[in-house]
Each structure stands twice: as structure tokens, then as C-alpha cells.
């Protein structure tokens, strides 16, 4: 479904992504784990068209999308849930969900998708009329993921959803991501600093270190890998 080869991305003279290849087959949940500054957000932002690649290939369903404007990439069914949630604080939960469904085809499916989101996160239903800016961090993250689901994603890009959340909320969120992947058949690319959370729900994983892929394997093997255990799982 998504095929990235030899991707390089720069900020002026700094190369943040140094020629990486990442594959996300249809129906899989793939994660990219890495420390601060590894290039995870840059990767997500480049796929969704917010950063331009310097070189390399990004293909989605067999079509090149490298350098395509972000609104056309959303049209193709690639939906990003950004780092830091990016909810609209002065709007209610319901209005934020409406924003996630702004494309015509998604408006038609609004009710159906809204029910899916409320089943995933009942808290959002209870607080439908509350301003997003007054929600807790965990609730805002639920809303950000929910808003992403309102866009009917074929491919959902999740940028560090666990950031700043309590262990209990991380568990709740990772359960919801699993449901989105397994029950709603959404292909997911998850980038995370929380390696354990990501590898426990992913099928395959990549380890990104200062802009390079240093390891790739099944998530189960990475969880057992000595280097991963020491560097990313604190074992």
C-alpha cells in the first residue's frame, strides 16, 4: 500500500531523514520507533505532504505521492493524526469531529463514522458539547484519533499518540488503535517513542536512529531483540 524508498528529507543544510526505505502493506499495522530527534515526525509529515522530500520515492497504491500537496494526499485516503494532537481548542468535540469529515464523501458517512468513534471512545460521546481546549490530554488524544477516523482513512498515520499520557491512558489508546486496525480494517503507520506500546500492537517495526533505519523485523522479534530491549525498552 505505502512504499518508501531511499527517502531523504532536509531542513536547510540538515538532513533529518537520510535515505530510508519503509513498507506498509495493506491491512498491516507497522510501527517506527525511535528516540527524540530520530526523524519520526519528519517522516510522517513528508508522507502527508507537509514536508517535501529532497529525493527518493513515496508510492501509495502504486502512485507516486512524493511532493504532492497535502490536500491531494488527504483526498487519496491518507489521514494524519499529528504530534501534539492539534485539536481545535475553541470548538466542541462534535465540531472537531465535523472538521475531520470535511470532504464531501466523508460528510455522507458522518453518522456511521461518528458511531464508530463514540464506540471506540465513549467519553467523547458523553462530552460531545465540551470545548476541546478544556479536555484532559488523554481526552484530546482520543479526539485527535477520532477526528482522524472521521476522514475515512485507508492509511492512518499516527504521530506519537502516547506522548504525555498516563500508563492507563496509553493502554486505553493502544487498545483503540488495535480495534481501528483489526475491526475497522484500517492500515496504520504508527511512530512512537514508547517502543513497548508500539511493538505490542504492531505486526512489523522499524528502528529509526538519527534519520537512518538501523533495524527492521517483525514486532515480536524486535520485542525480543537484545539491543532493542536495552536501548528502547529499558530492560
Instruction: Return residues touching ligand ATP (CB under 6 A).
Output: 11, 14, 16, 34, 36-42, 83, 193
Judged by CB, which is closer to ligand ATP: 20, or 223?
A: 20
Judged by CB, which is closer to ligand ATP: 120, or 216?
A: 216
Judged by CB, which is closer to ligand ATP: 36, or 129?
A: 36
CB of residue 103 to ligand ATP, shortest distance in Å:
27
CB of residue 37 to ligand ATP, shortest distance in Å:
4
Judged by CB, which is closer to ligand ATP: 41, or 114?
A: 41
Judged by CB, which is closer to ligand ATP: 32, or 117?
A: 32
CB of residue 108 to ligand ATP, shortest distance in Å:
35
Q: Which of 26, 103, 30 is nearest to 60 (CA)?
A: 26
Q: Which of 183, 220, 186, 181 is nearest to 204 (CA)?
A: 220
Judged by CB, which is closer to ligand ATP: 34, or 153?
A: 34
CB of residue 158 to ligand ATP, shortest distance in Å:
12
CB of residue 195 to ligand ATP, shortest distance in Å:
12
Q: Which of 202, 165, 151, 178 is nearest to 48 (CA)?
A: 151
CB of residue 52 to ligand ATP, shortest distance in Å:
12
Amino acid at each position: 500500500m505505502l512504499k518508501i524508498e531511499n527517502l531523504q528529507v532536509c531542513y536547510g543544510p540538515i538532513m533529518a531523514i537520510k535515505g530510508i526505505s519503509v513498507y506498509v502493506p495493506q491491512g498491516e499495522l507497522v510501527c517506527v520507533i525511535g528516540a527524540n530527534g530520530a526523524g519520526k515526525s519528519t517522516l510522517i509529515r513528508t508522507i502527508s505532504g507537509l514536508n517535501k522530500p529532497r529525493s527518493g520515492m513515496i508510492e501509495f497504491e502504486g502512485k507516486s505521492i512524493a511532493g504532492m500537496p497535502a490536500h491531494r494526499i488527504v483526498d487519496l485516503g491518507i489521514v494524519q493524526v499529528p504530534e501534539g494532537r492539534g485539536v481545535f481548542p475553541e470548538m466542541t468535540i462534535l465540531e472537531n469531529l465535523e472538521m475531520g469529515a470535511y470532504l464531501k464523501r466523508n460528510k455522507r458517512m458522518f453518522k456511521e463514522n461518528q458511531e464508530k468513534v463514540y464506540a471506540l471512545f465513549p467519553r467523547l460521546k458523553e462530552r460531545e458539547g465540551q470545548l476541546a481546549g478544556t479536555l484532559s490530554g488523554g481526552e484530546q488524544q482520543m479526539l485527535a484519533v477520532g477526528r482522524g477516523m472521521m476522514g475515512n482513512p485507508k492509511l492512518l498515520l499516527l504521530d506519537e499518540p502516547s506522548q504525555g499520557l498516563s500508563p492507563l491512558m496509553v493502554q486505553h489508546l493502544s487498545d483503540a488503535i488495535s480495534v481501528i486496525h483489526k475491526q475497522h480494517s484500517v492500515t496504520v503507520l504508527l511512530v512512537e517513542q514508547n517502543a513497548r506500546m508500539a511493538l505490542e500492537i504492531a505486526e512489523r517495526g522499524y528502528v529509526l536512529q538519527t534519520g537512518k533505519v538501523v533495524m527492521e523485523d517483525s514486532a515480536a522479534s524486535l520485542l525480543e531483540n537484545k539491543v532493542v530491549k536495552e536501548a528502547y525498552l529499558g530492560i
